[in-house]
């Protein structure tokens, strides 16, 4: 009722969650310059000190009833604010996104046209008002006369109770983040029979893994899944990929194609379009763009840039945005001149998402992660999202996260955290070999940590700061552990342990599966030269990656040198070793 009243009066709403810390609530109220606060009597004690006039929808009901029942005069236009939703900022200070009517309505109209409501449908509203998905949940249904059931957060957090509510109310559509979808699929094996009316499932907010998509199809073979991509800055959703019951599960999860009146570009650092299949940053244009960030002019200019592909830009109309510091229009004259077509700022700006993606040959977009997840290790720039996308393609991996850690000074390494499928054992060797088929060697994680579950933040996303450091025990490898026996094997093992920081290594363990890389191999080569006083080529270390094979090669004094046939696989491994050394030396010179 409060939201409808605000919009009907021509205002914009700022959702304030009473469960937030007082400091955060105070910051939001002050930053948004809230003049009127609609709430309930029992929530007043949770509010910090503020200057807004308070109206309690429950205790002030009698006073409200005395007001005129005539419709107020509303002069709102498509370019007026509909809401200000605060999202987390990289500096720790939340930023208010200025959402417009035109963006929300465009998102609604696209959904209504492509997935129209049928008679008797029932929807639910369960997302916190602080998140942009709630805009569709509330108004997307009500504006079409569709009944909605409001489900409290306490019920959503109790999967069985949540499913009971969905079933008893015959809910036909549901918006969920993938992490919640996984919980629901795990709660009931026969979810299709339990929720026969729920035909349209929508996922958004975080990446959908391939294994979760497969599980959805197995558990809900008669339902359709929409995988949406977007953010608050673009009115929630800008791309969609639909998987209908008759569709086969694709080989990879994609985020689909742009929705109506939306353009999605994948660009390099010079704002040039990248070729098909090449990763780049996602830039979004069209009617869904927010006005910017409230009271954040520098950040707005940084993230909402002139659209170099638009006709407006080519006509020389890409000058400063017609907004004041707070984000409101400067004046009608400049506004009308900028938007002579009647659609304010359509096509004149692009939103710089910070997301990494690539266009596939079929025209669909594949999401690869965040640009700010890009790291530099041993001179190589690495997109962590690309490694994660490769890992979750493994049939035994349910979920995966990759981060760069520096638990020891000057020893930054890639660590993969993997959640295996239930009742399925998975080894580091298996994962290493799998990734080796998909990624260059410098993108292979040095360590793999197998977890039962990934730590999550309150919003359901992965808490990367809580991921544990890999321990120094020997990882689970395909090779059975066999300790060093000969003196040569013991010397090599000691050198490996010191370089790899592993407590024990077996003679059949692969150096690279233990976390070794080209730089460490140079260190080991120097140590071996000193200990054995032999003229050892570093290429032989690539050729003999286990202690057993290397010890046999070094035991020339015992006339036990093994003459191994030069197979095609070994020749290929040798060539790769040469290439890795050349690549490493080139990067080292470049960084000097």
Cβ neighbour number for residue 398 with a 10 Å cutoff: 21
* pLDDT number for residue 196: 96
pLDDT at 517 over 50: yes
* pLDDT number for residue 333: 25
Q: Which two tokens stand for residue 479?
A: 């090779």
- More confident position, 90 or 448: 448
* pLDDT number for residue 295: 93
Whether CATH 3.40.50.300 fits 1-76: no
Q: Quick one: pLDDT band at residue 103, thresholds 50, 70, 90?
A: very high
469: three-class secondary structure by DSSP = coil
**Architecture, CATH, for domain 478-562:** Orthogonal Bundle (1.10)
Tens-place pLDDT, residues 430-446: 898 898 888 877 788 98
* pLDDT number for residue 485: 85
* pLDDT number for residue 224: 98
Query: Where along the chain do the CATH 3.40.50.980 domains lie?
Result: 1-76
Q: What's the average model confidence in pLDDT over 189-197?
A: 94
- Distance from C-alpha of 453 to C-alpha of 293, rounded to nearest angstrom: 35
Q: Quick one: pLDDT band at residue 580, thresholds 50, 70, 90?
A: low
Q: What's the average model confidence in pLDDT over 545-550?
A: 87
CATH of domain 381-470: 3.30.300.30
Q: Which two tokens stand for residue 452?
A: 């039962």
248 DSSP 8-state letter: P
- More confident position, 132 or 436: 132
- More confident position, 410 or 288: 288
Q: Are 290 and 97 in contact (CB under 8 A)?
A: yes
Tens-place pLDDT, residues 556-570: 644 444 444 444 454
Query: Where along the chain do the CATH 1.10.1200.10 domains lie?
Result: 478-562
Pick from 80-84, 85-89, 167-171, 520-524: least confident: 520-524
CATH of domain 98-310+345-372: 3.40.50.12780
* pLDDT number for residue 59: 92
Mean residue pLDDT across the chain:
83
- Of 277, 211, 276, 222, nearest to 249 (Cα)? 211
pLDDT at 334 over 60: no
Tens-place pLDDT, residues 240-279: 999 999 999 998 999 999 999 999 999 999 999 999 999 9
pLDDT at 149 over 60: yes
Q: Are 125 and 151 in contact (CB under 8 A)?
A: yes
Q: Quick one: pLDDT band at residue 314, thresholds 50, 70, 90?
A: low
pLDDT at 137 over 90: yes
Q: Quick one: pLDDT band at residue 340, thresholds 50, 70, 90?
A: very low
- Distance from C-alpha of 508 to C-alpha of 481, rounded to nearest angstrom: 7
Tens-place pLDDT, residues 41-50: 999 998 988 9
Query: Where along the chain do the CATH 3.40.50.12780 domains lie?
Result: 98-310+345-372
Pick from 145-154, 335-344, 355-364, 464-473: least confident: 335-344
- Of 264, 325, 317, 330, nearest to 293 (Cα)? 325
Query: Where along the chain do the CATH 3.30.300.30 domains lie?
Result: 381-470
Q: Quick one: pLDDT band at residue 519, thresholds 50, 70, 90?
A: low
- Of 474, 546, 527, nearest to 505 (Cα)? 474
- More confident position, 329 or 348: 348
Give the per-residue SS3 of 63-78: HHHCCCCCCCCCCCCC
Query: Which helix (H) or strand (E) is 141 found in, with range?
Result: helix 141-142
Cβ neighbour number for residue 152 with a 10 Å cutoff: 9
- Distance from C-alpha of 419 to C-alpha of 235, rounded to nearest angstrom: 33
Beta strands per DSSP E along 67-180: 81-87, 95-100, 122-125, 147-150, 173-176
- Distance from C-alpha of 495 to C-alpha of 488, rounded to nearest angstrom: 11
Using a pLDDT cut of 90, give the percent of the chain over it. 46
Roughly what angle, to the nearest 10 degrees, separates helices 518-532 and 487-500? 140
């Amino acid at each position: 009722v409060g939201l409808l009243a605000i919009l009907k009066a021509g205002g914009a709403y700022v959702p304030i969650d009473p469960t937030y810390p007082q400091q955060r609530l105070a910051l939001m109220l002050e930053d948004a310059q809230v003049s009127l606060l609609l709430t309930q009597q029992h929530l007043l004690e949770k509010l910090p000190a503020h200057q807004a006039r308070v109206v309690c929808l429950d205790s002030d009901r009698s006073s409200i009833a005395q007001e005129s029942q005539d419709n107020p005069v509303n002069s709102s236009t498509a370019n007026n604010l509909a809401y200000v939703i605060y999202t987390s900022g990289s500096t720790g200070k939340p930023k208010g996104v200025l959402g417009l009517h035109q963006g929300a309505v465009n998102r609604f109209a696209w959904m209504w046209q492509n997935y129209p409501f049928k008679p008797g449908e029932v929807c639910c509203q369960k997302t916190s008002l602080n998140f942009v998905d709630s805009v569709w949940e509330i108004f997307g249904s009500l504006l079409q006369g569709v009944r909605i059931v409001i489900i409290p957060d306490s019920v959503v957090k109790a999967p069985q109770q949540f499913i009971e509510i969905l079933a008893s109310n015959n809910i036909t559509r549901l918006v969920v983040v993938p992490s919640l979808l996984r919980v629901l699929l795990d709660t009931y094996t026969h979810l299709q029979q339990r929720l026969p009316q729920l035909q349209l499932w929508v996922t958004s907010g975080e990446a959908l893994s391939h294994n979760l998509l497969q599980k959805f199809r197995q558990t809900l073979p008669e339902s359709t899944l929409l995988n949406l991509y977007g953010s608050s800055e673009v009115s929630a959703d800008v791309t969609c990929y639909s998987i209908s019951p008759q569709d086969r599960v694709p080989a990879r999860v994609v985020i689909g194609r742009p929705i109506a009146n939306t353009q999605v570009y994948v660009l390099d650092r010079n704002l040039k379009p990248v070729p098909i299949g090449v990763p780049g940053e996602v830039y979004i244009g069209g009617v869904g763009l927010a006005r910017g960030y409230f009271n954040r002019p520098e950040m707005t200019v940084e993230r909402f840039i002139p659209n170099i592909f638009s006709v407006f830009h080519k006509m020389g109309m890409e000058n400063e945005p017609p907004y004041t510091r707070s984000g409101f229009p400067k004046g009608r004259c400049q506004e009308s001149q900028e938007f002579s077509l009647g659609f304010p700022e359509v096509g004149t700006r692009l939103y710089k998402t910070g997301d990494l993606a690539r266009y596939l040959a079929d025209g669909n977009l594949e999401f690869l992660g965040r640009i700010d997840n890009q790291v530099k290790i041993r001179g190589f720039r690495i997109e962590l999202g690309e490694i994660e996308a490769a890992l979750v393609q493994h049939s035994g991996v349910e979920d995966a996260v990759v981060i760069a850690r520096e638990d020891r000074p000057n020893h930054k390494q890639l660590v993969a955290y993997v959640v295996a499928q239930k009742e399925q054992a998975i080894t580091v060797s298996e994962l290493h070999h799998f990734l080796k088929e998909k990624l260059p060697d410098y993108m292979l994680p040095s360590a793999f940590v197998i977890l039962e579950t990934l730590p999550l933040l309150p919003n359901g996303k992965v808490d990367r700061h809580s991921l544990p450091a890999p321990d120094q025990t020997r990882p689970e490898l395909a090779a059975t552990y066999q300790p060093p026996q000969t003196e040569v094997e013991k010397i090599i093992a000691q050198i490996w342990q010191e370089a790899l920081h592993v407590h024990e290594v077996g003679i059949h363990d692969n150096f690279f599966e233990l976390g070794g890389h080209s730089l460490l191999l140079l260190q080991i080569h120097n140590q071996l030269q000193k200990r054995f006083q032999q003229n050892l080529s570093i290429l032989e270390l690539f050729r003999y990656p286990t202690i057993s094979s290397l010890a046999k090669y070094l035991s020339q004094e015992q006339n036990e040198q093994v003459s191994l046939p030069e197979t095609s696989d070994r020749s290929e491994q040798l060539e790769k070793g040469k290439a890795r050394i050349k690549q490493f030396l080139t990067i080292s010179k470049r960084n000097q």
